[in-house]
Amino acid sequence: MNHLPIPLGRNTDLYEAASVPKSIKNLGVRWKKRLRISFLVIIMAAILAPIVLAWTGNIWIDEKKLAAVQQSNSYVKLDEMPDHVWKAFVAIEDHRFMQHPGVDPIGLSRAIWVDIKEGAYVQGGSTITMQLARNLFLTNDKTMTRKGKEIAIALQLEQRYSKKELLEMYLNVIYFGHGKYGIGEAVPFYFGKKATETGDRAVTLGEAAMLASLPKGPERYSPVKNWDRAKERQAVVLDRMNELEVIDQSESTLAKSERIYVVPTAKRAAK
């Protein structure tokens, strides 16, 4: 027998409380069933989405462009450059590079949130693999369509290559300003040496940090065009490396005070 609804107070006997009408009970059962189904759908979507996206990424990958990357005369292998060169790029561009599958959910979510707050495309949230995908196969159009393609290609590239191979290709295709692509072209242009040189001629930590500054704004942070901005951005990179314990404070301080020789414009033009 149903009782009138009464609140379950401290002195209320459980059996005196109103029993739930049958129609409401059925509603609760249906709601729980729908909730379970919805939950399963979300789980399946979370599992299948990366697989579908990775498969879709094949559509936009140009195999000839991919093969041509390592055939470039200016191609530099990761083992041929000082470790602090690639570490500087990872620290400032994508410090979770070794952990994510090509897309960093944390970084991407943060970027989307900032864009929503600002009402404009302020942050991209692109990982190193996503930047590689964009530089090789896509345009720089700031659209959601391009971002979707970027994600799909990145997921596919992560299945094909090791992290070392992806990072190596990235460093050899990104734009460094002044018409120079890849670390093999950038180092001679800015510092008058080869990226593969060793000893006293090797790329220094200060130079590496300055190079790692360029992907964010190749012309804006060019040491040729704006030395002060280049130094400011270099400091940001070195501070980030120190924060992530890639280098210590003394190394950061020394690199900031390091005297960097930038090839004069006239000398470059004469070549």
Residue 40: per-residue pLDDT: 47
Tokens of 141: 């159009």
257 backbone φψ class: left, alpha, beta (φ>0; ψ -120 to 50): alpha
In one-letter notation, the amino acid at residue 76 is V
Nearest to 17 by CA among 27, 26, 4: 4
Q: How far apart (Å, rounded) are the C-alpha atoms in residues 216 and 178? A: 14
Tokens of 59: 């559509």
Residue 32: per-residue pLDDT: 55
How many angstroms separate the Cα of 265 from the Cα of each of 139, 152, 190, 215?
Answer: 30, 41, 10, 21
Q: How buried is residue 11: exposed, middle or buried, by Cβ count under 10 Å (0-12/13-18/19+)?
A: exposed
Q: How far apart (Å, rounded) are the C-alpha atoms in residues 56 and 76? A: 30
How many angstroms separate the Cα of 88 from the Cα of each of 13, 129, 247, 249?
Answer: 68, 16, 10, 15
How many angstroms separate the Cα of 229 from the Cα of each of 29, 201, 220, 225, 232?
Answer: 63, 25, 7, 9, 5
Q: How far apart (Å, rounded) are the C-alpha atoms in residues 221 and 193? A: 20
Q: How far apart (Å, rounded) are the C-alpha atoms in residues 54 and 142? A: 21
Q: Indicate yes or no: pTM above 0.95.
A: no
In one-letter notation, the amino acid at residue 170 is Y
Contact between residue 75 and residue 184 where contact means Cβ atoms under 8 Å apart? yes
- The number of residues making up the chain comes to 271
Residue 238: per-residue pLDDT: 99
Q: How far apart (Å, rounded) are the C-alpha atoms in residues 47 and 189? A: 46
Q: At 265, which helix (H) or strand (E)?
A: helix 265-270
Contact between residue 120 and residue 68 where contact means Cβ atoms under 8 Å apart? no
Q: How far apart (Å, rounded) are the C-alpha atoms in residues 212 and 81? A: 14
In one-letter notation, the amino acid at residue 254 is L
Q: Can you name the residues that pair with 175 across neighbouring β-strands?
A: 181
List the chain pLDDT tens, one digit each, 271 residues: 444 443 434 444 433 444 445 554 455 555 555 555 544 444 444 444 555 555 565 676 878 888 888 888 999 999 999 999 999 999 999 999 999 999 888 877 776 666 565 555 545 678 999 999 999 998 777 777 778 889 999 999 999 999 999 999 999 999 999 999 999 999 999 999 999 999 999 999 999 999 999 999 999 999 999 999 999 999 999 999 999 999 999 999 999 999 999 998 645 544 4
Q: How far apart (Å, rounded) are the C-alpha atoms in residues 238 and 226? A: 18
Nearest to 102 by CA among 94, 92, 110: 94
